[in-house]
Structure 1
Amino acid sequence: MLFNSYIFLLGYLPIVLVAFFVLGRWSRTVAAAWLACSSLFFYAWWNPRYVLLLLASITFNYVCGRTIARCAQTAAGKRVLTFAVTVNLLLLCYYKYTGFFLSSMGTWGHAPYGLLHIVLPLGISFFTFTQIAFLVDAYRGLAMEYSPVHYLLFVTYFPHLIAGPILHHKQMMPQFADPEIYRPRLRSILPGLAFLAIGMAKKVLLADNLAYYADRLFRGVEVGLHPGPVLAWTGVLAYAFQLYFDFSGYCDMAIGLSKLFGIDLPVNFDSPYKSVNIVDFWRRWHITLSHFLRDYLYFPLGGNRKGKVMRYRNLMITMLLGGLWHGANWTFVVWGGLHGIYLVINHAWLAVKQSAFPGWAERSNGLMARVRGIAATAVTFVSVLLAWVFFRADSFHAAGVILKGLAFGFRHTSDAPQEVFLWLLFAVSVPVVWLMPNSQTLVGSMMRKLEKTEAGLPAGLVWTAAFSLLLGALGGAAILQISAVPSKFIYFQF
């Protein structure tokens, strides 16, 4: 079931929400169980068979987590942790990488390996990583509450189940135990609706329309298209904006849906194209995944504790595995490797700048600082843009053809006429991405204005009314544009 579908918005969501609050007045445990069962139904809408896999994973990890917690930070606890994490990773690798491994072996060995047709369960990467984090937190003594109903809800909670964010036990369990969330609260419902409207507009009005122009390029090269510079650059830009608004829209909708239930999800997207370097980019893009890779892979590898060479090695390993996590294709590995190289260069440059030019940034005047910031943002964006080619391309051949088109190097090029609608989409996308405040800032400002309205200040009332009308118009336009077969969010496939 998709957030951007009529069955979800007009059927599933109102029924689940109303029943949650009605049951919450009677029993908080029953209400939590209802929300967990509703989340399982949400997952089963895609394929009921994989509900059993999800429940088996939850049961296994819950039992292991309880066992680890009883012997936290001991040798016995570490053995159980190692066993449980290994089982989780083997399950993930079986579903996600078996076909990739066999096809790679067949290519390298020139042998006709038969491929297994394994259907990848939706959200397996996210619910696996969420539970691995729980196991590690249990070993560290950070997981304190073990209600089976709350744990079931923690893993299956539908706003995050399919495409994140990756949650931590300590973030969610106190919220599920809070009696306040079981009663409707205006201060949660209003921002929830605001996030939902903004996310819907990003997904349906921008991302889905940009997808046509991105697909025209990337699918075209797979059937022999040799793009010229205009088609190559507009197609790659269309994909960069499509991915931005698709993922940003999903994150906004997940936060908004969760707020309707009074529960706060962690921010997972923070205007990443405004980043001034690649380190800053990974602090803003898929924030919970970045934190997971840092805390559970980069730091255990040694982080930066064993010198610069080992630090750069650990960065490369982390990003290569992060690329492979995104998809079972060598193009994703190259994408991760490029970002690893970017991070190594960035950290090396920061070290050189700090030692060779101490205080350089502080000595720059306001104008120079702004010019330097714009230039740094532009360089970072172009670097990310080039890496997106490998992220989206189905093969190295396709990526090579597009990169040649970007470099004006193809002799026999073809540039399709560029529709006015594409340039209109770009004209909207650019200010939204780089000039306007992001969703968190906008909704936070709305709530502060609303508080002033409650205090009797008319300016707050006018601002809140105008913003509400704008959000209503955006949300209404998005709902009217939902197609009969709504498009999936891109991160659903990871």
Structure 2
Amino acid sequence: MSQVAVLLTASLVFYLLPNWEHAYIIVSSVLVNFFIARWLLRLPQGTGRWLLTVGVTFNLGVIGYYKYAFFGTQVLNGLLDTQLSFSQHVLPVGISFYTFQQIAFLVDTFRYRNTAYRLKDYALFVTFFPQLIAGPIVHHSQVMPQIEAIHKKPFNWSLFNIGLVWLVVGVFKKIILADNFAKIANPVFNHADKGFALSLADSWSGSLGYTLQLYFDFSAYSEMAIGLAFMFGVKLPLNFFSPYKAPSIVEFWRRWHITLSTFLRDYLYIALGGNRKGKLLKYVNLFITMLLGGLWHGAGWGFIIWGALHGLYLIINHFFRFLGVTRAMPKAVSVAITFFAVVCAWVFFRAVSIEGAFNVLSGMFALSGTEPNKFAQLYHWVFIAIGLFVVFALPNVSQLLNYQGPETADEQISARWSAIQVSRISALLIGLSIGLAIMFMPEPTVFIYFNF
């Protein structure tokens, strides 16, 4: 059995064991998209738009049925005073990621006729277990050549060792940092969602706790995905690059969920017209893109408001750039303003209800009167301070390894690793990280982006 076949089998087992009832969804999605792409490849260049439309409609129909139909029914009932009913389905794991991945694949097939891959290679591209459940949204041009070359390359023990360390760092971030920040944020948001007002200290501890929880949760998954892929000789694109250090919202979206931002830019914003038709339409296109980006994260008003806020942030950012305001602002001030705006938007992303989000924001802006503190403890603030220090003062793993994505040469990564490692200290830190992760492992939890 070839290495591709082994990895494909392992990926399917990984996905299907806990999600066997959704097996037909991902299998049919892979087969339908593959054969539509093959059909397009047989048509003359520039023809077959109707077939592309069929493929994109199929993908959007599947994700719409499972992810948005229930929410859409609720909205229609509220607007039209109807009594439509629709059962809420359990969301198939990873559907948002492999759907967007395959839409990009079909669009590129139509545009460039450059996707003549074998079925097993394509199936592994979609189902590769390190990135399947929560991204990154991998582009075929980045990964397919690596998959096709797997059987030609000898096993690289250096990459395996580096990937293992990267994986351990991700596990540590998830269990020791992200899951413990959740313990600070959850009581605050649960209280707010029940309709209770919050004090200034409680609101800020909850919002900063969630801001750091989401940061370390997504950073952990991104690093675990890259580390696992490294261990099998595949280099995934960067999906997370210290986004809270960004001096602007534009830069934030170049660092946060990088592959989603790239997809939205290349396949939605540019398709809408981008910046080719004047500044007004550019701002409209930005807003629509971010609004749909918010809806991609989940079927709920909180996600829509979060996307709308980031759309407004981007419009303001571009307008200030046009006026030259941002050039005169010190970088530290720009970073602080950007971070504050991001924290405020995360409140809508996290809160279960809109009322809960406004309760948290009211407390943050001291609009809730003199509510007594119920949740914020001194050790919470110490832990938040440590988290902020890690976020703003320390380099990330990709910076330490000078890793820039699939284009980074194996030799460059190995040489960089050899230059920075000190064997005994490295072994001690890795062992300590594993020990702490096991010691403090809470009840089973999932990554936040696993739910999207």
TM-score category, normalised to shorter length: over 0.9
Q: Which residue of 2 aligns with 1:197?
A: 168
**CA 1:285/1:453 → structure 2, altered by over 3 Å: closer, same or farther?**
closer
CA drift at 1:151: 0.7
Q: Confirm whether residue 437 of structure 1 aligns to residue 395 of structure 2.
A: yes
Q: Cα deviations across residues 264-313 of structure 1 (Å, max 9, x unaligned)?
A: 00000000000000000000000000000000000010000000001001
Q: Cα deviations across residues 20-52 of structure 1 (Å, max 9, x unaligned)?
A: xxxxxxx5xx32112112111111122201111
CA drift at 1:471: 2.7
Q: Confirm whether residue 53 of structure 1 aligns to residue 25 of structure 2.
A: yes
**CA 1:48/1:37 → structure 2, altered by over 3 Å: closer, same or farther?**
same
Moved more, 142-151 or 32-41: 142-151
Q: Cα deviations across residues 147-166 of structure 1 (Å, max 9, x unaligned)?
A: 11101101110011110000
The one-letter code matched in structure 2 to 1:135 is: L
**CA 1:181/1:413 → structure 2, altered by over 3 Å: closer, same or farther?**
farther
Q: Which residue of 2 aligns with 1:466?
A: 425
The one-letter code matched in structure 1 to 2:433 is: L
Q: Which residue of 1 aligns with 2:362?
A: 404
Which of 136, 139, 145 pairs up with 1:174? 145
| Partners of 1:130 and 1:143 in 2: CA distance | 15
Which of 95, 119, 141 pairs up with 1:124? 95
The one-letter code matched in structure 1 to 2:276 is: R
Q: CA RMSD in A?
A: 2.1
Q: What is the number of equivalent residue pairs in this alignment?
A: 445
Q: Which residue of 1 aligns with 2:159?
A: 188
The one-letter code matched in structure 1 to 2:438 is: I
Which of 346, 349, 359 pairs up with 1:388? 346
The one-letter code matched in structure 1 to 2:380 is: L
Q: Confirm whether residue 260 of structure 1 aligns to residue 235 of structure 2.
A: no
| Partners of 1:268 and 1:450 in 2: CA distance | 21
User: Which of the two has higher C-alpha Rg?
Assistant: 1
Contact 1:96–1:328 (8 Å) recurs in 2? yes
The one-letter code matched in structure 1 to 2:302 is: T
| Partners of 1:314 and 1:103 in 2: CA distance | 27
| Partners of 1:181 and 1:278 in 2: CA distance | 43
Q: Matched residues, percent identical?
A: 43
Which of 93, 111, 121 pairs up with 1:150? 121
| Partners of 1:181 and 1:434 in 2: CA distance | 41
| Partners of 1:236 and 1:181 in 2: CA distance | 49
Unaligned regions of 5+ residues in structure 2, if any? 404-410
CA drift at 1:468: 3.8
Matches for 1:73-152 after TM superposition, within 5 Å: 73-75=45-47, 77-141=48-112, 143-152=114-123
Unaligned regions of 5+ residues in structure 1, if any? 1-26, 362-368, 455-459
CA drift at 1:108: 2.1
**CA 1:48/1:167 → structure 2, altered by over 3 Å: closer, same or farther?**
same
CA drift at 1:448: 7.2
Q: Confirm whether residue 333 of structure 1 aligns to residue 304 of structure 2.
A: yes
Q: Which residue of 1 aligns with 2:215?
A: 244
Q: Cα deviations across residues 420-454 of structure 1 (Å, max 9, x unaligned)?
A: 43233213211210010011012449x97974897
* TM-score normalized by the length of structure 1: 0.86
Contact 1:228–1:405 (8 Å) recurs in 2? yes
Q: Cα deviations across residues 224-270 of structure 1 (Å, max 9, x unaligned)?
A: 33110000001000000000000000000000000000100000000
**CA 1:488/1:462 → structure 2, altered by over 3 Å: closer, same or farther?**
closer
Q: What SS is found at the alignment partner of 1:45? A: helix
| Partners of 1:218 and 1:160 in 2: CA distance | 30
Q: What SS is found at the alignment partner of 1:46? A: helix
**CA 1:476/1:184 → structure 2, altered by over 3 Å: closer, same or farther?**
farther
The one-letter code matched in structure 2 to 1:418 is: A
The one-letter code matched in structure 1 to 2:384 is: F
| Partners of 2:177 and 2:123 in 1: CA distance | 35
* TM-score normalized by the length of structure 2: 0.93
**CA 1:36/1:351 → structure 2, altered by over 3 Å: closer, same or farther?**
same
Q: Cα deviations across residues 2-22 of structure 1 (Å, max 9, x unaligned)?
A: xxxxxxxxxxxxxxxxxxxxx
